[in-house]
Amino acid sequence: MTFDVSNESELPKVVKDLWPILSANNIVLFHGDLGAGKTTLVKQIGKHLGVTSSMSSPSFSLVNQYETADDILYHIDLYRIKDVAEIYEFGLPEILDSGKICLVEWPEMAEEIWHDYDCSEVSITIEKSMSRRIFVK
């Protein structure tokens, strides 16, 4: 399934249509170049799920935890991972095994771990018009 987004104000509707598909798995992997809009989309999903606190990119902390209307959401950013051993040091497998919603940016930094999990996947590309194309795998 593909969604074309020309501006950020369209994201609430896109997420409303997108989340029922993605939520088939509690782990969602977000692929896309730097600046493609992964964090923006994750924040909108959080808002859709009832996160009321301000969401920020976990680029430095690697993991941020938020309360949704009825659960916990983990926002994970693996951009700064230099070695797969680091994912074990900060407890990524335990987070993924928790059954809670895990939204993961830059999953390609730890490719080998995803084979053990059922994951939904989203790819975001920047089009020539600077719009975004969101593709769900």
The candidate with the shortest Cα–Cα distance to 40, out of 29, 56, 20, 16, is 56
Q: What are the C-alpha distances in Å from 30 to residues 9, 35, 39, 56, 70?
A: 20, 12, 9, 16, 23
Would strands 27-32 and 101-105 be described as parallel, antiparallel, or unpaired? parallel
Structure tokens of 26?
């509690």
Write out pLDDT tens, residues 43-71: 999 999 999 998 988 777 889 999 998 99
- Say what the pLDDT of residue 103 is: 97
- Say what the pLDDT of residue 113 is: 92
Question: 47: domain range?
Answer: 2-136
What is the reported pTM?
0.93
Total domains in the chain come to 1
The candidate with the shortest Cα–Cα distance to 73, out of 23, 112, 36, 121, is 23
Write out pLDDT tens, residues 89-121: 889 999 999 999 999 999 999 998 999 999 999
Indicate which CATH number applies to the domain containing 130: 3.40.50.300
